[in-house]
Every structure is written in C-alpha cells, then in structure tokens.
Amino acid sequence: MEYLQQFWNGLVTWFIDNRGWVEVLKVVLFAVLGLIAVKVALRIMRKANEKKAISKKSSKLARSFLYNTLRVVLYFLYFIMLFGLLGLELSNLVTIISALGLALSLAMQKVASNFASGMILVANRSFEEGDYISGAGAEGTVVDIAIFSTKLLTPDNKIAVVPNASLADNTVTNFSAKETRRVDLNFSVAYGTEVELVRKTLEEILDAHELIRHDDGYSIRLKEHGESAIKFVCRFWVNRADYWTCYFDVTEQAYKRFGEVGIVIPYNKLDVNLISKQ
C-alpha cells in the first residue's frame, strides 16, 4: 500500500506540478489529429481513384495497388511519429527488432518479395480487377491486389488470398484477356460408326445454337483410335461470357442427337457367367 501511495503521489506531482498534463494533451491531440489527417488523405486518394483522376493510362489494378501502398506508408509514418512524441527511443526499437534474429530476417525477405512481386504484376498488367485468372493453385475473379497479396473470388463464392510472389513466380492464365474463347469437346463413339454421320450430326447442333460464333468456323475431326471407341474432337468459338453455356448445351444436345440418329456411345460392360455344379 505504501508503494502504491508513493507512486500515486509521484504521478500527481508530475501531472500537476510539472505540467505533465500538457504532454498528455499533446500526445492525445497528435493521436487524434494525425489519425484524422491519415483518414482524409486516404479518402481523397480513394475518390481520385474512383473518378480516374490519376492518369487514364494507369490501370484500375495499378491505382488500387498504389492506394494500398500509400495506406501502409501513411500509417507507418503516423506510428513512428507517435512513438517519437511519446519519448520512445527508436534506436531501442530497432535493437529489439534486430534481436529477433534470423527468423524475422527471413520473414522480412518474404514481405519484401511479395511487395516487389506486386509491383511487377501491376507493371506487366498480367490481369486487371474483374478478370478471371488461374495461377499458383488458385482460380477465381480478381477483386483486389494489395501490396503483399491478391484476392480472388472463387466460383463457389469464397475469397482466396494468394501471395503476390506466388503469382509472379508461376504461370498465370487469364481467361478474360480476350473477348472470344474456343470450346474443345471430345466425343467417343463405337467402332463401325460412319465418320460423316458424326460430323454432320455435330454440325447440325452447332448451326442451330444461336450463341456460337458461326462465322469463325468449326473443326470436327476424328482424333484417336481408342481401345474400345473412336474419338472425335469438336472445336468452335464463342464469346467469353457464353463459354460455359455453349459447353454444356452442346454436350447435352450431342447425347440426345446421337441416340436419335443411332450413334452408339460405348461404355464398359461386364459379362458374368454363372456355372452351376450339378
């Protein structure tokens, strides 16, 4: 109790007699005003991005990356200045960080690698926000690229966070880069089926589908002599947004039409012979 009383008396003396309240007020004002200044700066930057006030040559993804980088820098400077105002020695902070040794060093290398990779991705314009991409074991629509990672919205409505270094170091497939895509379908039919019958049946299906780009032509060829079937490949072009619709429609219609014209689709069969002992 005596120790607590002495501590309280010392605190009161510092706060009132030594005008400690002035220092507290300075810290509080800086903390509040500094945070407001950071928020205002970020809001201005965000509105500038929304209005495309930055160079129109820069992509939406580049502006997003720049905004995320600026946010980290501003908050970093804010906390550094706040620590200084509190009287904390930054050299001591550096000493503590250095004492963490190799583990922190390796972690910082990964952080630096992800940051540099993010800059490379933006500079190369490999993809834009809203593009559907596949890379580094993930697949989805790009919703945001931060300074260390890229967020993808998967087809089943999940968010996949992929480190920028992983995307930069691996092959990235951008399915949204072009307005048109080619659909490749494979069909297996029984041996003895006339090639022209298969080709004519598939052409009729493609000709009747309004979403297929008929002017770009089709390719329907015998691809392979399989062990139990001959295999055809059917290729045609569609608009990017119609890819899966045409893929499933043609697959379903081919199954139906093959049955109508007598084209047999082979499948594995198992004959079981029962031998009775009498």
Mean residue pLDDT of the chain comes to: 81
> Structural domain tally of the chain?
3
Q: Is 267 a member of any domain?
A: no
Domain match, 147 and 188 both: no
- Residue 186 half-sphere exposure, CB side, CA atoms within 13 Å? 8
pLDDT in tens, 181-200: 999 999 999 999 999 999 99
Close Cβ partners of 125 (under 8 Å, ≥ 6 residues apart): 59, 61, 62
Range in 4-8, 171-175, 205-209 with the lowest mean pLDDT:
4-8
Domain match, 94 and 122 both: no
Domain match, 207 and 228 both: yes
Tokens read off for 31: 């903390």
Q: How far is it, in rounded angstroms, from Cα 46 to Cα 246?
A: 39
**Residue 5 reports pLDDT greater than 60:** no
- Range of the structural domain that residue 247 is part of: 180-261
Confidence of residue 80 (pLDDT cuts 50, 70, 90): confident
Q: What is the 3-state secondary structure (H, E, C) of the chain?
A: CHHHHHHHHHHHHHHHHCCHHHHHHHHHHHHHHHHHHHHHHHHHHHHHHHCCCCCCCCCHHHHHHHHHHHHHHHHHHHHHHHHHHCCCCHHHHHHHHHHCCHHHHHHHHHHHHHHHHHHHHHHHCCCCCCCEEEECCEEEEEEEECCCEEEEECCCCCEEEEEHHHHHHCCCEECCCCCEEEEEEEEEECCCCCHHHHHHHHHHHHHHCCCECHHHCCEEEEEEECCCCEEEEEEEEEEHHHHHHHHHHHHHHHHHHHHHHCCCCCCCCCCCCCCCCC
Q: What is the predicted pLDDT for the residue at 93?
A: 56
Domain match, 41 and 72 both: yes
Q: What is the predicted pLDDT for the residue at 71?
A: 77
Domain match, 169 and 186 both: no
CB 229 within 8 A of CB 266: yes
pLDDT in tens, 203-234: 999 999 999 999 999 999 999 999 889 999 99
Confidence of residue 267 (pLDDT cuts 50, 70, 90): confident
Mean pLDDT of 135-141: 92
Mean pLDDT of 226-255: 95
**Domain-ending residue, one of 99, 131, 151:** 99
Mean pLDDT of 33-37: 80
**Residue 67 reports pLDDT greater than 90:** no
Domain match, 78 and 38 both: yes
Q: What is the predicted pLDDT for the residue at 104?
A: 52
Q: Is 149 a member of any domain?
A: yes
* CATH classification at residue 150: 2.30.30.60
**Residue 76 reports pLDDT greater than 90:** no
State phi, psi for 139 to the nearest 5 degrees: -150, 135
**Residue 169 reports pLDDT greater than 80:** yes
**Residue 57 reports pLDDT greater than 50:** no
